[in-house]
């Protein structure tokens, strides 16, 4: 503890200044190693000053004036960094990993209830924002968190995702009569420009923050493959236009090169999974604001555990086929200078659990060769971009919302420290301390 803050030390129930009546509006995180998320080198003995929801000053101790009324939190020997952001996940709230049975037999409100706990687990793991790329629960959770009913990260959600007939989001392991309303799982089915326009508008009407499309086949869809192109360029263009007209953007599940090219031409903002890019994809993306979102975590877990935990065999088989290419190509995109954000595609099953979302960072460093600093950027600044929130969150800079975590250990030396919840000592969202271990 620094001598000059002795009288100001934060005591659990008693804010600095002695007044218990009004909570101080200014908080200072003092003495930590600051990784601000911009990619700049870390700052030792830092001060981050927060007023209400906002970061008002950042710098070294001695350079930033800490007002006497500030509530000072000593974070010496710890790391201060932006709240983490999972740029691709789902709130499914599944109880088991048996996807097919879960969706058929388990009433979906149970998934909504389970997701309440998943949201809390995410926050406790240091995730202050998540991008839900298609679910039934996301919109309701977002509202419940905003209302203060439950604890959780800021949620940016697609609500129902859009898929073509025989697309990644069409449950084609079931007879078509069983999925007649085509909304059994997590999205809308639409074919042709007119239906695509209507489906995108319906998703917005439901409360989607952005539009999610499936622009290629996938791993966890039975009869298609990651190499299959889905939606036509015209369909994608029409959906992007609907999103733009409403002041938002489109995110694509997309795993094959042709699909990625369609996405880039149509003006899709993020290309998620990105298993099989080619040279042309990289050239087309260069200079544009396209963001690639890695999701190594889901594939890794399916490969390692899918069979044992009862995931559908066709999904396990495809994950095994693509994982090595995924690792290699995410490295290729990263080394080619693409804008890379980190996702997991976790959905809250026992094998894809919310709360362990920092697994992605470990895989990016250990398997795809990211520098730890670049893994940090992928889960902060670039993930904020993938959410369309880069003006508000993702870095610790003056004027940004105070989404900040304090971590025991240094992720630049060992990225795995972020995976251990015990190391997440404090989680602040919009200036409010949501999680704090005691003693800090």
Interface residues toward Zn ion, by CB under 5 A: 133, 345
Residue whose CB is less far from Zn ion, 352 or 375: 352
Minimum gap (Å) between residue 19 Cβ and Zn ion: 48
Residue whose CB is less far from Zn ion, 120 or 253: 253
Residue whose CB is less far from Zn ion, 258 or 345: 345
Residue whose CB is less far from Zn ion, 133 or 384: 133
Helices (H), 185-232: 192-206
| CA–CA dist 28, 76 (Å, integer) | 12
CA 402 to chain centre: 17
Minimum gap (Å) between residue 232 Cβ and Zn ion: 22
Residue whose CB is less far from Zn ion, 213 or 290: 213
- 277 phi/psi in degrees, rounded to 5: -75, 165
How many Å is the Cα radius of gyration of the chain?
Answer: 22
CA distances for 83 relative to 232, 255, 358, 395, angstroms: 37, 28, 12, 8
Minimum gap (Å) between residue 296 Cβ and Zn ion: 13
Minimum gap (Å) between residue 173 Cβ and Zn ion: 17
Minimum gap (Å) between residue 314 Cβ and Zn ion: 17
Q: How many CB atoms lie within 10 A of CB 196?
A: 26
Task: Output the residue with the shortest Cβ distance to Zn ion.
Answer: 345
| CA–CA dist 430, 366 (Å, integer) | 32
Query: Is the CB of residue 412 less than 8 Å from the CB of residue 372?
Result: yes
Residue whose CB is less far from Zn ion, 70 or 133: 133
Give the residue from 268, 308, 295 showing the smallest Cα distance to 284: 268
Residue whose CB is less far from Zn ion, 348 or 411: 348
- Pairing mode of beta strands 211-214, 250-256: parallel
Minimum gap (Å) between residue 342 Cβ and Zn ion: 14
- Pairing mode of beta strands 432-436, 424-429: antiparallel
| CA–CA dist 222, 179 (Å, integer) | 15
Give the residue from 17, 26, 84 showing the smallest Cα distance to 54: 26
Minimum gap (Å) between residue 64 Cβ and Zn ion: 41
């Amino acid at each position: 503890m620094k001598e000059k803050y002795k009288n100001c030390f934060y005591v659990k129930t008693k804010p600095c200044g002695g007044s218990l009546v009004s909570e101080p509006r200014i908080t200072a995180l003092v003495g930590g190693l600051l990784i601000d998320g911009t990619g700049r080198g870390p700052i030792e003995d830092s001060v981050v000053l927060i007023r209400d929801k906002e970061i008002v000053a950042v710098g070294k101790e001695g350079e930033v004036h800490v007002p006497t009324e500030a509530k000072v939190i000593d974070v010496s020997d710890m790391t201060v960094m932006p709240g983490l952001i999972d740029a691709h996940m789902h709130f499914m709230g599944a109880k088991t990993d048996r996807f097919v049975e879960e969706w058929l037999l388990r009433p979906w409100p149970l998934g909504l209830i389970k997701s309440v706990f998943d949201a809390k687990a995410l926050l406790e793991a240091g995730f202050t924002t998540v991008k839900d790329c298609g679910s039934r629960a996301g919109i309701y959770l977002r509202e419940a968190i905003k209302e203060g009913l439950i604890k959780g990260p800021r949620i940016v959600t697609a609500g129902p995702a859009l898929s073509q007939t025989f697309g990644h989001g069409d449950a084609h392991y079931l007879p078509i009569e069983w999925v007649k309303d085509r909304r059994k799982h997590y999205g809308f089915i639409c074919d042709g420009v007119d239906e695509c326009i209507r489906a995108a508008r319906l998703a917005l009407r439901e409360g989607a923050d952005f539009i999610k499309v499936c622009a290629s086949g996938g791993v966890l869809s039975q009869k298609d493959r990651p190499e299959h192109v889905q939606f036509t360029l015209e369909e994608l263009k029409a959906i992007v236009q609907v999103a733009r007209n409403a002041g938002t953007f489109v995110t694509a599940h997309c795993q094959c090169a042709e699909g990625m090219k369609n996405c880039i031409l149509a003006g899709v903002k993020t290309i998620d999974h990105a298993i099989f890019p080619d040279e042309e994809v990289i050239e087309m993306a260069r200079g544009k604001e396209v963001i690639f979102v890695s999701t190594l975590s889901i594939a890794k877990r399916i490969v390692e555990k899918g069979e044992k935990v009862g995931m559908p065999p066709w999904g396990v088989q495809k994950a095994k086929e693509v994982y090595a290419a995924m690792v290699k190509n995410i490295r290729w995109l990263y080394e080619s200078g693409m804008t890379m954000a980190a996702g997991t595609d976790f959905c809250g099953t026992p094998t894809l659990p919310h709360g362990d979302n920092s697994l992605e960072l470990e895989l990016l460093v250990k398997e795809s060769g990211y520098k730890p600093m670049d893994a940090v950027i992928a889960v902060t600044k670039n993930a904020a971009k993938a959410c369309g929130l880069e003006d508000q969150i993702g870095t610790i800079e003056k004027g940004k919302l105070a989404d900040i975590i304090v971590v025991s250990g240094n992720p630049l030396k060992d990225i795995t420290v972020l995976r251990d919840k015990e190391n997440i000592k404090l989680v602040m969202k919009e200036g409010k301390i949501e999680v704090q271990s005691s003693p800090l």
